[in-house]
Amino acid sequence: MIALEAVAKRYGLFQALDRIDMQVAPGEFVVLLGASGCGKSTLLNLIAGFDAPSSGRVLVNGRQVQGVTAHCGMVFQQYALFPWLSVLDNVCFGLKMKGVARAERRQTAQHFIAMVGLEGFEHHYPKALSGGMRQRVSIARVLANDPDVILLDEPFAALDAMTRQVLQQELLQIYAHSGKTIVFITHSIDEALLLSTRMLIMSARPGRVACDIRNDLPQPRTADIQLSARYNALKSQIWNQVQAEVMRSLESRAA
């Protein structure tokens, strides 16, 4: 579903990403982990078409990415909702831009509003919603557009711990129900282990894929899985790899 072939990204003399080769199969839930500044968001922006690689190719569902298209849907950390539109109209927005008839787009939007647990809030505006509810609207809007790939850039980072845990479980249910291909950025190893089918650990800058780990924890998953020996073994493996990359980054800056 996603292929990066020898992808590099430079901003002038600054090398953000260096020769990344990566493939994501249809239906995978891939989590990107790594220290701040390692290029995770840059990589996501290349897949989404917000930016172009300096060299190499990015393909989504066999098509080379050459700008923003409907094949990828993006959920940002800060919601990115239109404050002047209601929940219903925010979720309808992409369908309206595609020319979908009013009755059909409202029916589709209503389906996904219900899926994220916001029935009864269709006519509320973003300012009247909590952070967690706004993020549910963002997810519903992406789902309504039926993209091939859903990209999430630390979508729960700004939420309190309880809301974050609820939305993690809801995202797992949506993933199981939709079968979408998902790429998700987080700094939380626990979140990565709960959500992913596979984890890619980014190296210190310039970003490369330093480690590719298959998440073989049984599904469905709940917070109780943290008590298992396999969970702790995977967490230790990831932590050691991330810590090594952080130290490498600090040493390179000191030099």
- Checking if the pLDDT of 6 tops 70, the result is yes
CA 191, 31, 221: angle at the middle one, nearest 5? 45
The answer to whether 215 and 49 have CB atoms below 8 angstroms apart is: no
User: Beta strand pairing status for 29-33 and 198-202?
Assistant: parallel
Q: What is the pLDDT of residue 226?
A: 85
Three-state secondary-structure class, residue 22: strand
Q: For 192-247, how does the pLDDT look when each residue is reduced to its tens digit (9 = 90+)?
A: 999 999 999 998 878 899 999 999 999 888 878 888 899 999 999 999 988 888 77
Reported for 230-237, long-range contacts at CB under 8 A and 24+ positions apart, including other chains, are: 231/193, 234/193, 235/189, 235/190, 235/193, 237/213
- Checking if the pLDDT of 178 tops 90, the result is no
Q: For 25-79, how does the pLDDT look when each residue is reduced to its tens digit (9 = 90+)?
A: 999 999 999 887 888 999 999 999 999 999 999 999 999 999 888 889 999 887 7
- Checking if the pLDDT of 151 tops 90, the result is yes
C-alpha to C-alpha distance for 189 and 212, rounded to whole angstroms: 14
Is residue 252 very low, low, confident or very high in pLDDT (cuts 50, 70, 90)? low
What are the structure tokens assigned to 143, written together? 């789902």
Q: For 64-122, how does the pLDDT look when each residue is reduced to its tens digit (9 = 90+)?
A: 999 888 889 999 887 789 999 999 999 999 898 888 999 999 999 999 999 888 999 99
Q: What is the pLDDT of residue 253?
A: 64
Q: What is the pLDDT of residue 60?
A: 94
Q: What is the pLDDT of residue 205?
A: 79
Q: What is the pLDDT of residue 246?
A: 76
Give the start-to-end residue ranges of the domains of the chain.
25-52+66-71+148-254, 82-146
Contacts of 109 (CB under 8 A, 6+ apart): 88, 91, 92, 95, 140, 144
Q: What is the pLDDT of residue 234?
A: 94
CB neighbour class for 163 (10 Å; exposed up to 12, middle 13-18, buried from 19): middle
Name the CATH topology of 25-52+66-71+148-254: Rossmann fold (3.40.50)
- Checking if the pLDDT of 254 tops 70, the result is no
